[in-house]
Amino acid sequence: MTKTELVDLIAQKGDLKKKEAEAALNAFVEIVNGALAGGEDVTLIGFGSFGVRERSARVGHNPKTGAKVDIPACKVPYFRPGKLLRDAVKN
């Protein structure tokens, strides 16, 4: 599903104009991005949780040459699905 298709569905389900649905989706994405960048987790009961994990520094290998490559530590976003979402996908 693309963003455009998601906006269309939000507009239909929420009885909104497409511009209003797109503005709501953009606001949601902006708020989640800001919260994760600020070190906060975002939890939507039943749907899931967005958070940030620390990935430690490690040594990788270039598959083409076999040379060792140092990969620095970094922060990566993650999503952990909630029970309702897991059950909906399972069935």
Cβ count within 10 A of residue 80 = 12
The domain spans of the chain are 1-40, 41-91
pTM: predicted TM-score of the whole model, two decimal places: 0.80
Its CATH class, for the domain covering 41-91, is few secondary structures
Q: How far apart are CA 54 and CA 34, in angstroms?
A: 17
- The residue among 85, 77, 82 whose CA lies nearest residue 51 is 77
- Each of the 91 residues of the chain gets a pLDDT tens digit; together they read 999 999 999 999 999 999 999 999 999 999 999 999 999 999 999 899 999 999 999 999 999 999 999 999 999 999 999 999 999 999 8
